[in-house]
Amino acid sequence: MLILALAVILPRQVPIEQRIDALLSKMTLQEKLGQMSQGGIPDPPDAKMLKLLREGRYGSLYGGASPETRIKIENAARQSRLGIPLILGADVIHGFNTGLPTPLGQAASFDPALVQICSRISAREASSVGIQWTFSPMMDIARDPRWGRMAEGYGEDPFLASAMAVATVKGYQGTSLKNADSLAACGKHYVGYGAAEAGRDYNSTWIPEGLLRDVYLKPFQACSEAGIASYMSAFNAINGVPATANPFTLKQVLRKEWGFDGMVVSDFDAVRELIPHGFAADGKDAARKSIMAGLDMEMISDEIWKYGPELVKSHQLDIKYINGAVRNILRTKFRLGLFDGRPQSATEIRPTTATMSASKKLAEESLVLLKNDKSILPLSKDIGKIAIIGPLADRPQDQLGSWANANEKDSVTPLAAIKAKLGDSRVLYAPAITVRWQKGWSYDQFLTDFLSNKDQSGFAEAVAAAQQADVVVVFLGEIQNISGEASSRSNLDLPGAQNELVDALAQTGKPIIGVVMAGRPLTMSAVTAKLSGLIYAWGPGSMAGPAIIDTLFGDSVPSGKLPVSFPRSVGQIPIYYDHLNTGRPILPDDSDHYTSRYLDLPNSPQYPFGFGLSYTTFEYWATHVKKVGEGFKVFAEVTNTGKTDAEEVVQLYTHRMAASVARPIRELKGFKRIHLKAGESQRVTFWLFRQDLAFWNQEMRFTAEPGELEAWIAPDSVSGTPAKFKLP
Ligand code: NOJ
């Protein structure tokens, strides 16, 4: 067998397409369909699986497994007739052994360079146990925080999400996919998954083509240009056509327009799900429709494997579609060096001081200071006693956020970190709310109990601690899987009795600082007035504790900005900053009844996209736009007017006054993280070219129509005074 395998796998000097031709010409239909199938890794691998692998039944396996298991299954696949190696995938979403902040938190850093460094760490650690392919980054634009998977992506804005996704891909894939420490990235969920109707996971989406192209496709396109190895087709239907069998997105856009030649795997079971979607009549129809639409590999369900032979034999499916899919898969495997003895680390790479400090830095940059009355923060280290309250102050697993791989034993919680900083005697701790687990409960019961648990029996201890303290820090929010897959919520208030907890603490009259760990924006208008300070921490990862505590005491200065708008109430959803103006925008003095507004709530979010305070203050001077050659130089002076050295994320927005298709009131076109010493000023410059100002017009052409525009250099998406300029 091995001799035959060697004969058809041409040496590495031969161009990849020729190597693929040689292999394809020898493959049976069964072997081709095997390549198009992805199964789950049984750990330890059973004899049945090893036998199937020797028969060429799978092109890929995925899931968590020990390095020994991975080696065993790889060897079994290599013993198959043609010796085609497996590609081993896993969900390495935000860190592997070193737990990084959730992607939404990473986006709040507005720091792609650091995100790239941290993704490199993930790749090094994950590849050290034999993982070759990660189902990440998720780049679904999400404008509805009811959708729990918002935590896994980069928020509401296509420009920011593109920058973050590209940085992540570069970090994973490194300088070459062939390196032992590179991971092939998989952009997901292609496409529109974040637009799930009513924020209900897996729900259908309705996205007009212009919006699809201007917003939802943008990060995917940016990653294609950056050389991403693969994509995952989404669960959802887009305008009635499921993404896993959608010829428009999979063929027209991805292959024809972008020239993508890597591979596309379906999401879990998504081929079979074409049946309940009401798109395929049965498994055979599902296999045919997904292959013809341009899908290459089926994850978990086995319709392609089962019905492929019959479809080809009956001429319902031309073999050219199967050959095309297998070609994409083999190309990806060749690119990873899987046929050429890809090197493999001998030992698992564990977290180190350096990786943990990178994770801490990213966590610090992701913290968004939303409120700081009378500069209560930073706290003085000379403070007497501090009360640490709340259900999330000491939850090593929950601080990792959803889809975490890291071991909770490597987590440093806020409680541990503050004790390390101040010593035990000055710290009073009371969780106040217990995260309950009862024998026999399903996981759903556990999660819904956390959401509805109104038990206040722990409040008295918490209030007593607060009364003895000089300041109270209350850790609120969501435990790990309250956000994430299949974790949609219709109510976005702090879960359970957390609002009541803040009420009870407020009655002590002590200053209260809230720290919220959550996968998504929560509606907190009921409690913000009672808090003197508020930090939004997302799912901060292994180093949540040191990052948050150093920030509370000013050893780190907050600089994160919101990657999503925070609604005042779920009634405002979907809410996002780059919306259209309408013909009847709300008037500045709200004097007209007949405008687009609510009777019972302002239109504005509680906290806008791009917003985040610092321990210092920044003054933004006038924005200037100068035409220079083919481009526009946009610049403004920014001054640190406070007493603390700090970083600031300076943002560039534009607006087009009139166009063949109405344009959003503002669109993010650039951002820069700058460092300013107290009193220091810096001129911040951005460049805009025609291409940056283009959009999909009425004829669905990507065009920069001539016209008048406005530009703001601003600290967030709502402030500043624009400068006008003209695009000829
Ligand atoms: C389903 C999820 O939607 C996807 O994001 C994930 O990568 C796959 N399952 C594999 O676990």
User: Distances in Å between the alpha carbon of 85 and those of 76, 161, 660?
Assistant: 9, 33, 52
User: Apex CA 633: angle with CA 628 and CA 634, to 5°?
Assistant: 155
Ligand 1 neighbourhood includes 91 CB (under 6 angstroms)? yes
DSSP lists the bridge partners of residue 386 as 427, 471
Q: How far apart are CA 235 and CA 246, in angstroms?
A: 11
Prediction pTM value: 0.98
**Closest C-alpha residue for ligand 1 atom 11:** 91
Tell me the CA distances in angstroms from 335 to 39, 171, 228, 261, one per residue in order.
Answer: 22, 17, 11, 11
Give yes or no for residue 190 CB within 6 A of ligand 1: no
88 strand-pairing partners: 61
pLDDT reported for residue 588:
85
Query: What's the gap in Å between 403 CA and the centre of ligand 1?
Result: 10
**Does residue 129 contact residue 562 with C-beta atoms inside 8 Å?**
no
Q: Which of 554, 532, 716 is nearest to 645 (CA)?
A: 554
Which ligand 1 atom lies nearest to the CA of residue 193?
Answer: 3
- Cα-to-centroid distance, 657 and ligand 1 (Å): 41
Under the banding of pLDDT at 50, 70 and 90, the label for residue 7 is: low
Distance CA 521, CA 79 (A): 50
pLDDT tens, position by position, 359-408: 999 999 999 999 999 999 999 999 999 999 999 999 999 999 999 999 99
Q: Which tens digits make up the pLDDT trace of 59-110?
A: 999 998 998 999 999 999 999 999 999 999 999 999 999 999 999 999 999 9
135 lines ligand 1 (CB under 6 A): yes
What is the rounded CA–CA span in Å between residue 505 and residue 270?
48
Indicate which atom in ligand 1 lies nearest the CA of residue 189: 5
Beta bridge partners of residue 387, listed in sequence order: 428, 472
DSSP conformational letter for 149:
G
**Mean pLDDT of all residues in 693-700:** 97
Whether residue 647 contacts residue 673, with contact meaning beta carbons closer than 8 Å, is answered with: yes
Contacts of residue 83, defined as CB under 8 A and 6 or more positions apart, other chains included, come to 1, 2, 4, 5, 6, 9, 77
Give the per-residue pLDDT at 589: 87
Query: Ligand 1: which atom is nearest the Cα of residue 93?
Result: 7
Q: Hunting for tokens 């000055």 — which residue is that? A: 426
606: burial class by Cβ within 10 Å (0-12, 13-18, 19+)? buried
| C-alpha dihedral, 451 to 432 to 536 to 538, nearest 10° | -50
Structural tokens at position 710: 């406005």
With the most atoms of ligand 1 within 8 angstroms of its CB, the residue from 188, 201, 272, 297 to mutate is: 188
What pLDDT does residue 6 have? 57
Query: What's the average model confidence in pLDDT over 145-173?
Result: 98
Q: What are the angstrom distances between the C-alpha of 445 and each of 395, 441, 485? A: 19, 6, 16
Candidate list 111, 140, 144, 267, residue with the active-site label = 267
Distances (CA, A) of 261 to 220, 624, 715: 14, 42, 40
DSSP 465-522: HHHH-SEEEEEEE--GGGSSTT---S--BPSTTHHHHHHHHHTTT--EEEEEE-SS--
CA distances from 407 to 64, 96, 399, 475 (A): 13, 9, 11, 21
**DSSP category for residue 402:** S
Q: Can you read off the two tokens belonging to residue 722? A: 């624009």
Q: Residue 311 contacts by C-beta under 8 Å, 6 or more apart in sequence?
A: 284, 287, 288, 317
Q: How many whole angstroms from its chain centre is CA 720? A: 29
Average pLDDT, integer, range 146-175: 98
485 lines ligand 1 (CB under 6 A): yes
The answer to whether residues 555 and 548 touch, using CB atoms and an 8 Å cutoff, is no
Q: Is 269 a catalytic residue?
A: no
**By alpha-carbon position, which residue is closest to atom 3 of ligand 1?**
267
Q: Which residues contact 286 (CB under 8 A, 6 or more apart)?
A: 245, 271, 272, 274, 275, 279, 280, 303
Give residue 374's Cα distance to chain centre. 34
What percent of the chain is predicted at pLDDT more than 70?
A: 99
Query: What was the pLDDT predicted at 8?
Result: 81
**Per residue in 560-608, pLDDT tens?**
999 999 999 999 999 999 999 999 999 888 889 999 999 999 999 999 9
Residue nearest to atom 9 of ligand 1 (CA): 268
Place of tokens 């020729």: 18
Q: What angle do CA 337, 341, 342 make, to 5 degrees?
A: 50
Residue 62, CB-side half-sphere exposure with 13 Å CA sphere: 20
Angle made by CA atoms 462, 464, 468, in degrees to the nearest 5: 115
Q: Which of 404, 409, 535, 521 is nearest to 100 (CA)?
A: 404
| Least confidently predicted of 5-14, 353-362, 417-426 | 5-14
Burial of 298 per CB tally in 10 Å (0-12, 13-18, 19+): buried
CB-ligand 1 contact for 144 (6 Å cutoff) = no
- Given ligand 1 and candidates 94, 102, 135, which is best to mutate, with the most ligand atoms within 8 Å of its CB? 135
State if residue 267 touches ligand 1 by the CB under 6 angstroms criterion. yes
Question: What is the overall mean pLDDT for the chain?
Answer: 97
Q: Are 503 and 474 in contact (CB under 8 A)?
A: no
Q: What stretches of 94-219 adopt beta strand conformation (E)?
A: 133-134, 186-190
Determine whether the shortest distance from the Cβ of 188 to ligand 1 is under 6 A: yes
pLDDT value at 5 more than 80 = no
Average pLDDT over residues 122-146: 98
Strands 386-389 and 368-372: unpaired
Distance (Å) from CA 555 to ligand 1 centroid: 38
CB atoms closer than 10 angstroms to residue 99: 32
Helix (H) or strand (E) holding 303: helix 303-313
Q: Report the alpha-carbon angle 17-23-28, nearest 5.
A: 135
pLDDT at 590: 84
152 lines ligand 1 (CB under 6 A): no
**Cβ pair 642, 617 in contact under 8 A:** yes
Report how far residue 175's alpha carbon sits from residue 179's, in angstroms, rounded to the nearest whole number.
8
Phi, psi dihedrals of residue 59, rounded to the nearest 5°: -90, -20
Give helix 459-468 / helix 498-506 axis angle, nearest 10°.
Answer: 40
How far apart (Å, rounded) are the C-alpha atoms in residues 55 and 290?
A: 24
Give the Å distance between the CA of 186 and the centre of ligand 1: 11
Rounded CA-CA distance 378/375 in Å is: 7
d(CA 530, CA 514): 9
Q: Are 721 and 622 in contact (CB under 8 A)?
A: yes
Separation of first and last alpha carbons in the chain: 67
In this predicted structure, what is the pLDDT of residue 544?
Answer: 98
Atom number in ligand 1 closest to CA 138? 5
